[in-house]
Structure 1
């Protein structure tokens, strides 16, 4: 005698199960099969996950800037690098086209390293060479995972190599003996706009941290915005950016030195101050 749901069913030897038994077995099988499939999917990742990531701390924070380089959308998450990494973000990379960009440098004697906030984004075999070409005067340096933290709800990737681009000094050592801004190689307001516009996506506190943790703000600051005397025409967020620069040290200490092009030519180029860093300019645009 076989005990089934609904009471005992008597079966003589050599007889086949009846229709009722088949129906019960079919129902049990249908109930168990989806659970088994679901249990088998748990913990599996999608194929083709990225294995390389880049930490961007300058104009690479801006999504449009990243996307133009990659030729596709490149999502990013906000992160922070520990001072243990041993660098500072500073105005120390001269482009031969005539401006000074952000880079990372080693601290001077007696100067502490600082934390550096920015973004982390994935790269692949097709777009990593494009970023390497863009950062041609920088060296791609490994960034230890333990020295970077996520600052929002998104988590860091669990696997893969993290990279950061560091300018190369005259001695071919990354972050050493780098030139500061000068009359011929000023900080450009349009470059600063790009960095802070990308940073404001993550909030004003994140943008303020960018300013606070950037060193070597300079007397040589050119307001090169299109129609700079009427910035609202072409720079919709100029007020938010200028307020941050005016109120947040150390940029605030140099904000009054920012000049319109004609004033810059008369006061900085006609009678230039001595070049604070006579190292040669780098050959390609920096970030």
Structure 2
């Protein structure tokens, strides 16, 4: 029989080490707590309008971009409202951010945070939001609204409408030529409804500058469910949740909108 000593000597001759015995104690542990895996995103966007919608984000990024529902504190000091006019001949008014006006107080703003994969993708979002400036957001002003956590590192950016030098107070709210358009509102609220009815209700309650200049431009406006799956849920929210509800009755089909707002604005033709 080969003794234990001779067996160990034989292993040593082949350059092999015997496994430590249980009596020698456990191997030293490695603690990776707090270390980030390589390749993690370093830039994030906070979307508070159409960027809440996953299909809308994907159309820009070219890849599926998951997001975390979140909320900006009222300490941010701005209000979400319909104050961003389309550029390049696009005649509608979109959501943007503005300071509170006299008698108003800043409110919280719900939306989503999502990662941006590199400079090229960020440039694509910047081109999409060409009428806005991308500014850095203090992460201390942001809280999650679901069970998912927020990113622990990196920078968070948000888009604010680019200030016009000739713009006075209230000059960028909707008017006859730059109305609210239902197709835009649908994208925003479809994204919000994906986070739940309470999230969508909060979005309406914390969005301001709803306007009587409101065009129902859905592809099939008299049968909206045929093209817009959530049309019924969206309309119920808009009709019952303030401040949208006060203006919802002014939403008009294209021909009625033209008769009320556009034709009425034409100068009278002398007879």
Structure 2 stretches lacking a partner, 5+ long: 12-16, 267-271
2:125 to 121, 131, 141: 131
Q: Residue 63 of structure 1 is aligned with which of 54, 57, 63?
A: 54
Q: In the alignment, which residue of structure 2 is the partner of 1:213?
A: 206
TM-score normalized with structure 1 length: 0.81
- Whole-Å Cα distance in 2 between the matches of residues 136 and 176 of structure 1? 22
How far 1:44 moved relative to its partner? 3.3
1:39-77, CA deviations, whole angstroms, 9 ceiling, x for partnerless residues? 355543210111111110000000011111111111110
In structure 2, C-alpha distance between the alignment counterparts of 1:261 and 1:32, rounded to whole Å: 80
Deviation of 1:83 after TM superposition, in Å, equals 0.9
- The CA deviation at 1:200 is 0.7
Seen in structure 2, the aligned counterparts of structure 1 residues 132 and 54 have a Cα distance that, compared at 3 Å, is same
Counterpart secondary structure, 1:241: helix
Secondary structure, aligned partner of 2:75: helix
Runs of 4+ off more than 4 Å: 40-43, 175-178
Relative contact order, higher structure (CA 8 A, sep 6+): 1
Other structure's SS at 1:125 match: helix
Where does the alignment leave 5 or more consecutive residues of structure 1 unmatched?
Answer: 1-10, 274-287
Task: Give the superposed CA RMSD.
Answer: 2.7
Separation (CA, whole Å) in 2 of partners of 1:220 and 1:27: 80
TM-score normalised to structure 2 length: 0.86
Q: Find the aligned partners of 1:168 and 1:176 in 2 and give their Cα distance.
A: 14
Deviations along 1:132-182, whole A, 9 cap, x unmatched? 111111111111111111111111111111110000222399x97651000
The answer as to 2:160 corresponding to 1:169 is: no
CA distance in 2, matches of 1:271, 1:176: 25
Instruction: Pick the structure with greater CA Rg.
Output: 1
Map 1:9-28 onto structure 2 (within 5 A). 17-19=5-7, 25-26=18-19, 28=21
State how far apart, in whole Å, the 2-side matches of 1:177 and 1:46 are. 47
After superposition, give the CA deviation of every residue in 1:84-103 in whole Å (9 maximum; x if it has no partner). 11110000111131111110
- How many positions carry a matched residue from both structures? 255
